[in-house]
Structure 1
Amino acid sequence: MSASKEFRMFWLIGIQQALLVPVLTTVAARRKRDR
């Protein structure tokens, strides 16, 4: 059971990173445009 729990945590972290990457890139692009 512990292995499945670790896998679930790793899976959630992966999803969060996948969602954050495009957001950070868009924010960086907007900051560059402002300059």
Structure 2
Amino acid sequence: MGKKGGDHSGKPDTSDSDGHRDRPPGPTKPYEPPKK
């Protein structure tokens, strides 16, 4: 659904789970690919 970066770390799907695994929503960082 919201997983664009192939993030399957077992975390629940949130409204901001578009690659931002451990980052809060906001202009903290543009887009960071999930660290596998």
Q: What's the TM-score bracket when you normalise by the shorter of the two chains? A: under 0.3
| Rg larger in structure | 1
TM-score scaled by structure 2? 0.13
TM-score scaled by structure 1? 0.13
Higher relative contact order (CA 8 A, sep 6+): 2
Greater helix fraction, Structure 1 or Structure 2: 1
